[in-house]
Amino acid sequence: MAIDWQLATVTAVRDETPTVRSFTLGLPGWSGHRPGQHVDLRLTAEDGYSVERSYSIASEPERAGEVHITVERIPGGEVSPFLHEVVVPGDRLEVRGPIGGYFVWEASLGGPLLLIAGGSGVVPLMAMARHRARAGSRIPARMLFSSRGPDEIIYRAELDRLAAAGDGFVVAHTLTRQQPPGWTGYARRIDEGMLAEVIEPLGAATRAYACGPTALVETVANGLVRLGLPPDRIRTERFGPTGT
Amino acid sequence: MTEQFVTRAFVGRRDDAETGAMGGGERRRRTPPGQYLTTEFPVLSAGPTPRTPLDRWSLSIEGLVSNPASWTWEEFLALPSRDYVVDISCVTKWTHLDMRWKGVSVDTLLEGVYLDPKAAFAIAYSDGGYTTNLPLADVLNNQAFVAYEYDGKPLAPEHGGPARLVVPARYFWKSAKWIRGLRIQAADEPGFWESLGYNNRGDQFLEERYTGD
């Protein structure tokens, strides 16, 4: 019944943005997970000093024997700079999971589905989007993704591909600080007007998942309640600047 | 894993300085295993922040008691209160030392309700439907309080205001935000997170994070 620590082997490392990197963790004994869940990671020094952090799983459960995590490098942090600067394929890391049973969506729960992300808050939502595609679901789904600038959009190319698949997945970006020439997406922080536009085609039976900094999640959750979504259909996950 | 695994090339950022308000030794002693120290107050909640107007707010003690009690907001504020300075640990790994609160001891709330001899558990319930379960042995004798101020200011809604339970000796999910009452029971009953894979007791110094820990 206990969730035991397992040894994962890092099998691939990929840069998503200049400050965000994904790690593929090979886990032969992985029991599977639900999209939205996380793992705990433990780093231990030779003298026994150890630290733990939680990271959302980015990959879909259909991927057997491995999970992907996506880590933003927090300057001055203890764990994320180590993962970025030291960890290479072949290294082994202790992990345990999956953990968390509420901020979870799978195709069997139905939709329509609204995913709202700020920055690296996109990670657990990406697991849901990847699962939806991989499971062949055609549940109407929309993602509203807030990033600071064009170079900071995590998973940008893959999100473009998912949105081009023609299976009912739509992505809207907003860039809050810097927009490239010719930008046609939103160019401001998420507000109630933006939420109203994004949710309109989905309707009031939507299941909404929001993950990001506290201010964004508060705005989104309160806004969706005012737009008529029942509070029990709004699930939130937050991270502050302390998730180092 | 019986033999301790060592992460290649990991040293860690040790905080051993004997400077500041307290020494490195004391900081280490007060930091539960697997936790890191922060001076921030991160927010975590599963859904939207409920907002109940104060004129419709009440706090109730019900269940296995002879005299169920209920207080309006004004009545609650008139109860004997005190200042608390406590260390808080969240299962998401942060620990914040010396957090300053003002609130009413659960002992004060239970004065005069007359617990039934079979009473053994308190189920805290909140606006928005959140619940968490605690043995009475974990909340009596000044181990828990209902806070309405943090750091000298009214408790903000995202931190559980107008009032939240605070149980410093347990992971912070036991400190129910937006509390509206305690239901006293003979039998234990897992609450929201306790039903979703988190530990039933949640003692941070025993690292009781998840089911089976």
pLDDT at A242: 38
Q: For A29-36, what is the mean pLDDT?
A: 95
Instruction: Chain B: give the shortest CA distance to residue A214, in Å.
Output: 6
Q: Tokens 């942090």 — which residue?
A: A77
Residues A207 and B15: their CA atoms lie apart, in Å, by 43
Q: Report B:96-155 residues touching A (Cβ under 8 A).
A: 128-129
Position B2 confidence tier, pLDDT thresholds 50, 70, 90? low
Per residue in B77-126, pLDDT (tens digit) is 999 999 999 999 999 999 999 999 999 999 999 999 999 999 999 999 99
Pairwise CB contact (< 8 Å): A53 & B196: no
- Measure the CA–CA gap between B210 and B189, rounded to whole angstroms: 16
What is the pLDDT confidence band of residue A243, given thresholds at 50, 70 and 90? very low
- A90, pLDDT greater than 80: yes
pLDDT at A135 > cutoff 50: yes
Using the beta-carbon criterion (under 8 Å), do B158 and A234 form an inter-chain contact?
A: no
> What b/e sequence results for A64-78 when a residue is b if at least 16 CB atoms lie within 10 Å of its CB, and e otherwise?
eebbbbbbbbbeebb
| Candidate from A72-81, A125-134, B57-66, B132-141 with smallest mean pLDDT | A72-81
Query: What is the pLDDT of chain A when averaged over all its residues?
Result: 95
> Given a cut of 90, is residue B208 above it in pLDDT?
yes
Confidence (pLDDT) at B17: 64
Lowest mean pLDDT among A2-6, A42-46, A207-211, B18-22: B18-22
Q: Check CB contact of B82 with chain A, cutoff 8 Å.
A: no
pLDDT tens digits for range B159-183 = 999 999 999 999 999 999 999 999 9
Residue B44 scores a pLDDT above 60: yes
Q: What is the mean pLDDT of chain B?
A: 95
Amino acid identity for residue B62 in this structure: E
* Cβ count near B28 (within 10 Å): 13
Q: Name residues whose C-beta falls within 8 Å of residue A88's C-beta, 6 or more positions apart in sequence.
A: A10, A13
Q: What is the mean pLDDT of residues A138-164?
A: 98
Whether the predicted pLDDT of A240 surpasses 80: no
Between A1 and B171, residue with greater pLDDT: B171
Report the pLDDT value the prediction gives residue B45, as an integer from 0 to 100.
86
User: Across residues B23-27, what is the average pLDDT?
Assistant: 86
Task: Give the DSSP per-residue string, chain B.
Answer: --SPP--TT----------SSS-HHHHHHHS-TT-EE-SS-----SSPPP---GGG-EEEEEESBSS-EEEEHHHHHTS--EEEEEEEE-TTSEEEEEEEEEEEEHHHHHTTT-B-TT--EEEEEETTS-EEEEEGGGTTTTT-EEEEEETTEEPPGGGTTT-EEE-TTS-GGGS-TTEEEEEEESS----TGGGTTB-SS--GGGT--BTT-
- Shortest Cα distance, chain B CAs vs residue A48, angstroms: 8
Peptide bond into A112 cis (omega under 30): yes
Taking only the tens place, the pLDDT of each residue in A108-134 is 999 999 999 999 999 999 999 999 999
Contact of B42 with chain A, judged by CB distance below 8 Å, is answered with yes
Which residues of chain B make contact with A7, given a CB cutoff of 8 A?
1, 5
- What per-residue confidence (pLDDT) applies to B16? 66
Per-residue pLDDT, A241: 43
Confidence of residue B23 (pLDDT cuts 50, 70, 90): confident
Q: What is the mean pLDDT of residues A95-113?
A: 96
What pLDDT was estimated at residue B20?
64
pLDDT of residue A123: 97
Instruction: Compute the count of residue pairs across chains A and B with CB atoms less than 8 Å apart.
Output: 118
Question: In the predicted model, is pLDDT for residue B55 greater than 70?
Answer: yes
Percent over 70 (pLDDT), chain A: 97
Which of B188, B95, B48 minimizes the C-alpha distance to A52? B95
Question: pTM for this structure?
Answer: 0.95
pLDDT of residue B25: 86
Comparing A196 with B18, which gets the higher pLDDT? A196
Mean pLDDT (whole number) for A145-167 = 98
Pairing of strands A92-99, A50-56: unpaired
Give chain A positions within 8 Å (CB) of B210: 2-3, 99
Dump the DSSP string for A1-52.
Answer: -----EEEEEEEEEEEETTEEEEEEE-TT-----TT-EEEEEEE-TTS-EEE
> What DSSP line would sit under A69-115, residue for residue?
EEEE--TT-SSHHHHHHT--TT-EEEEEEEE-SSS---GGG---EEE
For B213, which residue in chain A has the nearest alpha carbon?
A2
Other Cβ atoms less than 10 A from the Cβ of B24: the count is 14
